[in-house]
Amino acid sequence: MQVFNLGESNSVLSSFVAQMRDKKIQKNTLLFRNNLHRTGEIFAYEISKTLHYAPKDVVTPLGTAHMQLCDDQIVVATILRAGLPLHDGILSYFDGAENAFIAAYRKYEKGHDFVVSAEYCTTPALEGKVLILADTMLATGASLLSGYNLLVAQGGTPAQVHLVCPISSAYAVEQVKKDFPKNTTLWTAAIDEELTSHYYIVPGLGDAGDLAYGGKL
């Protein structure tokens, strides 16, 4: 399994991540969503470099251009609700992609212990396709794994898996390496070392779903 931390190289991505982390700037929910969208676009561009391409002739008003165009069938999936702006950013670059959605949440038991409940999934067939599974925060890896298992159970096994998680914990990165198949690539913009007893990433950025769409009961 490969892990690409785009935050290790200086680029405009750092500005988007900094604004999403900043507790004053992140109060602007529109900007927060827009930054997630723009982050998704950057990840989509980087993922596009790893895909398969085939030659195609494109007829222009003046002649024929010989092009190399993506030959993969792509499915973009996300875990509701925090991943929606990220999903939309990725989809804006893979405009012909199919889509999948998973409803998953933490169900807390005694103390700080919790299980991830993935209760709903809608997906096209995944066999032989490239699956891009996006979630804003990768804290423990439990939600992502539950979502992936649900997708595979309903849609079949994809040929390649790309996980897009802008903010990741070091713990979750190691868990993902163990739990996901070898044909998986993890894309992130930051790997934070600390995970609290409530399993929140530090410094992280807070609750991405609330920051994007408002608080919940």
Residue 215 pLDDT: 83
Helix (H), strand (E) at residue 40: helix 29-48
Residue 107 pLDDT: 59
Residue 104 pLDDT: 73
CA distance 30 to 66: 41
For residue 108, pLDDT over 60 is answered with no
CA distance 116 to 99: 22
Top pLDDT among 106 and 148 is at: 148
Residue 197 pLDDT: 81
For residue 170, pLDDT over 60 is answered with yes
Fold of domain 2-213: Rossmann fold (3.40.50)
Residue 117 pLDDT: 65
Structure-token match 């561009």, residue found: 45
Bridge partner residues of 187 (DSSP): 4, 164
For residue 27, pLDDT over 80 is answered with yes
Q: What angle do CA 19, 22, 27 make, to 5 degrees?
A: 90
* Every domain of the chain and the residues it spans: 2-213
Burial of 88 per CB tally in 10 Å (0-12, 13-18, 19+):
middle
Confidence of residue 198 (pLDDT cuts 50, 70, 90): confident
Min mean pLDDT across 74-78, 127-131, 199-203 is at: 199-203
CA distance 159 to 182: 11
CA distance 85 to 209: 10
Average pLDDT over residues 173-178: 96
pTM of the model: 0.93
Q: At residue 151, what is the residue type?
A: L
CA distance 106 to 90: 25
Q: Please provide the average confidence, as pLDDT, over all residues in the chain.
A: 93
Q: What angle do CA 112, 118, 119 make, to 5 degrees?
A: 125
Confidence of residue 137 (pLDDT cuts 50, 70, 90): very high
Average pLDDT over residues 140-155: 93
pLDDT, tens digit, for every residue of 76-97?
999 988 899 999 999 999 999 9
Do the strands 167-169 and 137-138 form a parallel or antiparallel pair, or are they unpaired?
parallel
For residue 114, pLDDT over 60 is answered with no
Residue 201 pLDDT: 96
Average pLDDT over residues 169-197: 96
Min mean pLDDT across 67-76, 110-119, 134-143, 200-209 is at: 110-119
